[in-house]
Amino acid sequence: MDRVTGRGRSKRQPAARRAAGALLLAAVLGLAACASKRSGDTTYKDPSLDLDLVQTAAVLPFVNLCSDDKAADRVRDVFSTMLQATGRVYVVPPGETAKAMLRTQTGRNEEPSTEVIMAVGKAVKAEVVITGVLREYGLVRSGNSQANAIALSIKLYESEGGKLIWSGSTSEGGVTMGDRFLGGGGEPMEKVTEEAVETILDQMFP
């Protein structure tokens, strides 16, 4: 009887181990999926502000703190396009904003002064002026794994007086537990950028 029971137990143990292994893998993948790649935060909002009342916005060139010289322009284009696509605000064409910026003689990679914000807003007849700082863009590494990541902060200014009325930031992508465990390379840079902008817009228009 014991031998029969023993044989039965020996057959069940590998199956049990496989089931336990499958559960462990599912748990690890679940943690990897739940481990947020997205971290967004509204850092300031004027309590008297109602962004739903804003109709026109000018998006200035983003400050680029990354090694990719064109990264800020690409991210600004994605941001402007996705902001326009919300249907909540009209985005002044970048050519008009560029002409207004030229008159202010502001350096390309400088955060604009209050005077510049007011001058550009008046020139293009925008109610708000939006600035951005791109802090991270491209591949990041962790151990033997790598993945695309972006870190972006956005500010909105009331153009008439140059007052800060909203600011938010987000970090998207990077090497996740799933990338380390399964050897994945993360998402394409275009998708990571779109997800970051979507996070910012969700903060802006909750």
Instruction: Give domain limits for the chain.
Output: 1-34, 36-204
C-alpha distances in angstroms, 115 versus 61, 67, 105, 158, 161?
16, 29, 12, 12, 9
Instruction: Give the chain's end-to-end CA distance (angstroms, integer).
Output: 68
User: 57, 90 in Cβ contact below 8 A?
Assistant: yes
Map residue 112 onto helix, strand or coil: coil
pLDDT digits (tens, 9 = 90+) for 177-203: 655 555 556 799 999 999 999 999 999
Spatial CA neighbour of 165 closest among 180, 178, 155:
155
CATH classification number, 36-204, choose in 3.40.50.10610, 3.40.50.2300, 3.30.70.940, 3.40.50.10480: 3.40.50.10610
Q: Per-residue pLDDT for 125 more than 90?
A: yes
pLDDT digits (tens, 9 = 90+) for 58-102: 999 999 999 999 999 999 999 999 999 999 999 999 999 999 999
pTM of the model: 0.79
Cβ count within 10 A of residue 72: 22
